[in-house]
Amino acid sequence: KWDLAAKEPGAEAEFRQVVQATLKFLPYVPILFVSALRRKGITQVVDTALRVREARFQRLSTGELNQLVRDAVAAHAPPSKWGQRLRIYYATQARVDPPTFVFFVNDTRLVHFSYERYLENQIRQRYPFEGTPIRLEFRGHAAETHRKGAKTTRRGTGVD
């Protein structure tokens, strides 16, 4: 019971670290400490739920998103594979609930999961999207689409 654990000095910070370490794949999810018995943090639940809902329906303009992508690429160049470097032509937010971003690239096979994670982190750094997963989709250039076996990749982060 949290009511009993909360009496220990530093218990909240320690428990927060344990939860963050255990759920490190969900760093964007807020952690709340609530006690109905002591009426602690109850209003925080509703306030947080409203913020999360607002974040889930947040929409970025294509211009804002592409500036972010240009900055991210300038700070950390995309990977190369088979002598080819990943090129991101542009990105757009295709939908909300959950926020879904589509990146138009030269070849989806060049998108490494670590660079995808880097792009997600860059988006979250500028626009937190608190409490909601975001999806990144990568679509290849028209020439790639006609190549045998070429596919659109859709990668989601988190759970809807």
Could you report the per-residue pLDDT of 34-66, keeping only the tens digit for each?
Answer: 887 888 888 889 999 999 999 999 999 999 999
Q: 36 is written with which tokens?
A: 């109905």
Quick one: 43 and 94 in the same domain?
no
Q: Which domain does 66 fall in, by range?
A: 62-156
pLDDT digits (tens, 9 = 90+) for 87-132: 999 999 999 999 999 999 999 999 999 999 999 999 999 998 999 9
Quick one: 77 and 40 in the same domain?
no
Quick one: 48 and 79 in the same domain?
no
Quick one: 77 and 140 in the same domain?
yes
Quick one: 17 and 68 in the same domain?
no
Among residues 56, 73, 90, the one where a domain terminates is 56
Quick one: 68 and 113 in the same domain?
yes
Quick one: 39 and 116 in the same domain?
no
d(C-alpha 57, C-alpha 34), whole Å: 26
d(C-alpha 111, C-alpha 85), whole Å: 10
Q: State the CATH number of the domain containing residue 152.
A: 3.30.300.20
Quick one: 42 and 66 in the same domain?
no
Quick one: 67 and 125 in the same domain?
yes
Quick one: 125 and 72 in the same domain?
yes
Residue 148 pLDDT grade (very low, low, confident, very high; cuts 50, 70, 90): very low
Question: Torsions phi, psi of 60, nearest 5?
Answer: -100, 140
Q: Which of 131, 105, 140 is nearest to 119 (CA)?
A: 105
Quick one: 82 and 48 in the same domain?
no
Global pTM value: 0.78
Among residues 37, 56, 75, the one where a domain terminates is 56
Among residues 56, 73, 89, the one where a domain terminates is 56
Q: Would you state the pLDDT for residue 58? A: 94
Quick one: 129 and 110 in the same domain?
yes
State the sign of the Cα–Cα–Cα–Cα dihedral 22, 24, 26, 27.
positive
Q: Would you state the pLDDT for residue 38? A: 80
Number of domains in the chain: 2
- Report how far Cα 102 is from the mean position of its chain's Cα atoms: 13
